[in-house]
Amino acid sequence: MAVTTVFKADHCAFFPLSICSCHRRAAPKAVAFARLTSARRLCLSLLCTRRVCSAFVSSSGGTQLDFHEHKPQTTEATEALFIEPEQQKDGDQLRKRVFSGLAIGIGGGGVVVAGGWVFTVVVAVAVFAAAREYFELVRSQGIAAGMTPPPRYVSRACSVICALMPVLTAYFGHIDVSVTSSAFLVAMALICQRAIPRFSQLSSTMFGLFYCAYLPCFWVKLRCGLAAPALHTELGKYWPILLGGRAHWTVGLVATIISVSSIIAADTFAFLGGRAFGRTPLTSISPKKTLEGAFAGLIGCVVVAISLSRILAWPSSLLSASAFGILNFVSSLFGDLTESMIKRDAGVKDSGSLIPGHGGVLDRLDSYLFTGALCYSFVKFALPVFGV
């Protein structure tokens, strides 16, 4: 009589389901176990063995199953085998996030300093990718279940329009005619479609043009439109003549550097503060955000805005620099929550997967969408009128 002994873990990963009747038991860690290497699976099976299934095959061809209970031997080693792959995955995700963030920060800083058509074209490319992700969210199952999404050809046309808007803004110096003309053409395309037009199609498309086309254009107006020289900026004295010299350092460049840096500081301090002290939820739209994290982000944003204003000698007063920092924080938080609301209705975690560790382009631009318009208004109108 031949005897075959097979060791079996809690989820019967090694035992054929046709022989072992224990597979009906729950397997809470089956997913983690499936990710282990073959060597770790063998070690885990030996450590976690609770039953030994002995198949006695008689000479007549019959099969008899005999189960013997065994206690687990080393629980700590077993848990380590489960936990280690998850920790390794989190570590890899964090490294991807850090490397991607550094690459985006360095590249974005160079684009901001370069200005002109370099800045405009990069904004146009980013806006095109963000618009594509937005209209994919609108067409997702979560949102489309309660409304009729716009036709795909309209979504694609709107993505192209969103990419052209920053270019037209840089060329003409204003965006009023471009926005109204684009909105009219899109509305006519929706009304003249073969299917019955729906108001939900019009509303989601018009918001897409406002959200992904109109708002980003203010960054072009802020960086390239405010060409007044920042006379008191000491860095301009040492700036190479081949790169524009002192005239390169304009109010638009200084304001853009302070705004972008303070937004990055707000996101970083909010994340660290929420991880360390977060207890009170901020809003139901984004359950992971806390009041403690928001307060830490506000402090970091204002501190960075004030520090850079001292270095770049703009704005001139402490009150104006503090107000600029608070404005950046509020607008970035509102933009983040707006995108979180869209993703929540769509039933997705990220708007895309283009940026490793960060999700989609819209996930990275959400804090900047409303900020450009408010910062431009602050610099263009609030500072000269109120003198804050």
The lowest-confidence range among 89-98, 123-132, 152-161, 227-236 is 89-98
Q: Count Cβ atoms below 10 Å from residue 279 Cβ, excluding itself.
A: 9
Report residue 123's pLDDT band, with 50, 70 and 90 as the boundaries: very high
State mean pLDDT over 357-368.
89
Instruction: Please write the tens of the pLDDT for every residue from 167-214.
Output: 999 999 888 888 889 999 999 999 999 889 999 999 999 999 999 999
State mean pLDDT over 153-160.
95
Instruction: Please write the tens of the pLDDT for every residue from 288-297.
Output: 899 999 999 9
Boundaries of every domain in the chain:
2-82, 115-225, 227-388
pLDDT above 50 (res 62): no
Q: How far apart (Å, rounded) are the C-alpha atoms in residues 110 and 169?
A: 21
Report residue 235's pLDDT band, with 50, 70 and 90 as the boundaries: confident
Residue with tokens 């920042």: 230
Instruction: Please write the tens of the pLDDT for every residue from 320-332.
Output: 999 999 999 999 9
pLDDT above 50 (res 228): yes
pLDDT of residue 368: 96
pLDDT of residue 236: 83
Q: CB-side exposure of 306: number of CA atoms within 13 Å? A: 12
Check if the beta carbon of residue 165 is closer than 8 Å to that of residue 183: no
220 vs 34, more confident: 220
pLDDT above 60 (res 127): yes
pLDDT of residue 41: 52
Collapse the DSSP code of 228 into the 3-class scheme (helix H, G, I; strand E, B; otherwise coil) and give the result: coil
Beta strand 2-8 with 51-57 is antiparallel
pLDDT above 50 (res 366): yes
Backbone angles phi, psi at 360, to 5 degrees: -100, 175
Q: What percent of the chain has pLDDT over 90?
A: 55
Backbone angles phi, psi at 64, to 5 degrees: -125, 130
What average pLDDT does the structure give for the chain?
Answer: 81
The lowest-confidence range among 70-74, 107-111, 146-150 is 70-74
**Which of the given ranges, 18-32, 63-77, 79-93, 357-371, has the highest pLDDT on average?**
357-371
pLDDT of residue 316: 86
Q: Report the candidate in 237, 57, 38, 204 with the shortest Cα–Cα distance to residue 137.
A: 204
Element containing residue 373 per DSSP (H, E): helix 361-377
Strand partners for 54: 5, 66
State mean pLDDT over 46-75.
43
- Count the residues in the chain: 388
pTM metric for this prediction = 0.76
